[in-house]
Structure 1
Amino acid sequence: MADRTVIPLLEKQRGRRAAPGGPALPPQRGARRPLALPLGLLRTARPRQWIKNGLVVAAPAAAGELLSARSAIQLGIVFVLFTAAASAVYLINDALDVEADRAHPAKCRRPVAAGQVPVPLAHAVGTLLAVSAPTAAALLCNPPTAALLTGYVVMQMAYCLRLKHVLVLDLTVVTSGFLMRAMIGGIALGIPLSRWFLITTGFGALFMVAAKRYSEAVQLADTPHRGSTRALIGEYTTGYLRFVWQLAAGVTLLGYCLWAMERGGAAHGGLLPWRELSMIAYIVGILRYAVFADRGAAGAPEDVVLRDRGLLLTGLVWTALYALAVAEL
């Protein structure tokens, strides 16, 4: 009698049929879903962060080189390759920080920390992407593009291993990553990069990065987890981070205004001085984003930009004005 009771119970736990020809019993609770591993790898690659790679069109857009089929195809390739390189960094970073993430109240849900993606697999896929992206850039683009992408991967790996523990250098490396995104599209298409373009994008990136760190420091100032979100968040004072993002915001505005007036003065034709008018929208956008930074609510820049209607509207107005300036209408 006992055997008749135990055998169906074992079969139920293994997900087998209870009787020949009978309905299948549900599988064992907690069994791995077929798509759990690939979905875990995708989540570890941070799809929400891929929007940042849209910066690859910045230099071609500023130069008015977006309308040709060749440019569109080349920029599509560059976007995919930069996304692969950035995903490699995320995968390897999560594999290296697995123990720290498991002790964190939010990061413990990341696929690698939660055990959904094995650590060796994260290392392997990340390494494969890190090698493949620059190699493909050398074959599909040009040597300078491959060199820049290689530099990005090397710098970000150094950040994961050591530089994120070094004051100021951690801000510099993250900022440089954004600047490289903005540069690589122009390099792939052979477009000369203006010094004002580099100043504006570089300090604009520093403004966003420092505002993000400032927001994290403000939110964690009175919590027992201060310093656990980022290696150095407990080493920076909120006063210092506020100084950095305010300085960067000022240089960004000055750089853009000088760039717009220089280019505007050299432009010919056009119904109105669109490039100079775009300064108004640009200034409003920076000042509005600074409101969130000042509140300590700029910890996720993509959320701030996508959820605030005022910023979205300002961005659309600036895009329209700059497009009119490039087209000289």
Structure 2
Amino acid sequence: MIYYRPIPRSDRARPSGAYTLAGGWLWFDQVEEIHRDAPARVIAAEDTPAEILSRMTAPRTDIARLQLDSPQLMGILNVTPDSFSDGGQYNAPAAAMARTQEMIAHGAVIIDIGGESTRPGAEEVDITEEINRTAPVISAIRKNSDVPISIDTRKAPVAGAAHKAGANLVNDVAGFTFDPDLAPYCAQQNLPVCVMHAQGTPEIMQNDPRYDNVALDIYDYLSDRIDVLVGLGIPRSQIITDPGIGFGKTLDHNLMLLQNLALFHSLGCPILLGASRKRFIGTIGGAEEARHRAPGSIAVALAGVAQGVQILRVHDVGETNEALKLWQASTLGSVS
């Protein structure tokens, strides 16, 4: 199999024959052709197979009211006692509502709510407990706001309760492989989804993760999962992909994925980057505590935007939004 990675550019001197990447803010006129058993080579964009080139260039359809022709911020709201960064801070509906309002005011256009920690070593949470953590918070937010809400869960009953409470999208860190009923439920309810890659469950995912080629292995995984979801009736246009930074990856794996994010545009789906406050950021940047990793998280987020990532899942919404506005103004010459 041959893989194709568009080489994104943002320079204002754009050649007349260049292609727009995913209907967004970047362009490309060259593509890296990647082989598992031979050296990669750079080819002209027009020499890319027509189907792949079409997927690279096609504008991404709105998902859960998100307009994906510009970068969008997904604010993280963990209603758990043990999440690695903010566990226990927003468990009560009132605290969660206040945090949501704060994130919206600072630029979040969708809120991702999770009731089960997926930090390395975390144990599975009982379904009833996960519902009790998430559904009341979603209901409280929905009574006061029409902001799109994503439910971060691996389980169909939790997604069902969240959808009934007002959630608009299902974000599954297990790629819809943990609960066989979850993907069919989303198809039946016409819910858009985010499919993420993780090697192993949170309990064991950091126990010596290995890949033949991390970027290509994850590309194949996501391609296969997209095919399954489409086969169940979920349109490709309503599927978001997430390579799963930090989920069963070493520091080197994470860096290799970040360098190859543009590869995933070849799947024809929007890309979500969820690297906020992850350990590798602390390791490289020297910030031991997760709450001190905002500068490094922003640097990684902007690197993702420079490769056309459409959705940034972040803790530090205001700081990321400010940095994003400056990146857009200084790089693209536009202010949103």
RCO comparison, higher one (Cα < 8 Å, 6+):
2
Which one has the bigger strand percentage? Answer: 2
Q: TM-score, normalising length from structure 1?
A: 0.28
Larger Rg: 1
Q: TM-score, normalising length from structure 2?
A: 0.27
